[in-house]
Amino acid sequence: KQEVTQIPAALSVPEGENLVLNCSFTDSAIYNLQWFRQDPGKGLTSLLLIQSSQREQTSGRLNASLDKSSGRSTLYIAASQPGDSATYLCAVRRGNNDMRFGAGTRLTVKP
Amino acid sequence: EPEVTQTPSHQVTQMGQEVILRCVPISNHLYFYWYRQILGQKVEFLVSFYNNEISEKSEIFDDQFSVERPDGSNFTLKIRSTKLEDSAMYFCATERALGYEQYFGPGTRLTVT
């Protein structure tokens, strides 16, 4: 059974700092991995999707990497801003449909 | 930018009552999903739906749950006889084609009393 773990559970950084969020998964036979952002009481906003054949994806200040063999993905946020404060979720897709989520990292960026 | 919409945003119901949660997918998307998130817990997959039939469901999605696309636009989740433990945020997600990004709606908060 696929288990997805995110470390740390919470992170507080000053504005402008670069940071890395970690996601690990137990079964390397994945279809793809997607990073989401969730604001309190809201839905999930897709940030980046990495297919199993890819090593990384970039969007603006965000860069996500995938190492399937070690069961790890990282989300790098450059020059963090207070507006980046949210919970970041990674979700691993096994097979065609089922997506398993981590518990998330709650990020606070202090002005 | 097209988005997934869900109604209602909040539903309060009594235990044993039936509820229907509604989702309007992005128009050219073909795959539809329901997820739930119990307060303070992980987002959990419930069911996927393609070509007017269920393609996969989790162990959570028992006989009390059903999904349908009644009119070619709405995608609904029905819970026949709600229990206290069904209280959660329910998210609809849609996908243009298999393996693409899933786009989530804002969710329906279901409270069972």
Peptide bond into A14 cis (omega under 30): no
How far, CA to CA in Å, does B109 sit from each of B52, B56, B105? 25, 23, 12
Q: Which residue in the set A34, A102, A104 is minimally distant from B102, CB to CB?
A: A34
User: What average pLDDT values come out for chain B (113 residues) when binned by 10 residues?
Assistant: 92 98 94 95 95 92 94 92 97 92 96 98
pLDDT digits 0-9 by tens, A7-60 = 999 999 999 999 999 999 999 889 999 999 999 888 899 999 999 999 999 999
Q: Which residue has the higher pLDDT, B47 or A98?
A: B47
**Type of residue at A71:** G
Contact at CB, A36 and B104, closer than 8 angstroms:
yes
Instruction: Taking the CA atoms of B62, B65, B70 and B74 in sequence, report the sign of the dihedral they define.
Output: negative
Q: Which residue in the set B42, B56, B91 is minimally distant from A98, CB to CB?
A: B56
Q: Which residue has the tokens 């329901």?
A: B34
Tell me how far the alpha carbon of residue A8 is from its chain's centroid: 11
pLDDT of residue B45: 94
pLDDT of residue B98: 87
Residues B56 and B77: their CA atoms lie apart, in Å, by 14
DSSP string, B75-112: EEEEESS--GGG-EEEEEEEESSTTS-EEE---EEEEE
Residue A96 pLDDT > 70: no
Contact at CB, B43 and A101, closer than 8 angstroms:
yes
Backbone angles phi, psi at B85, to 5 degrees: -75, -5
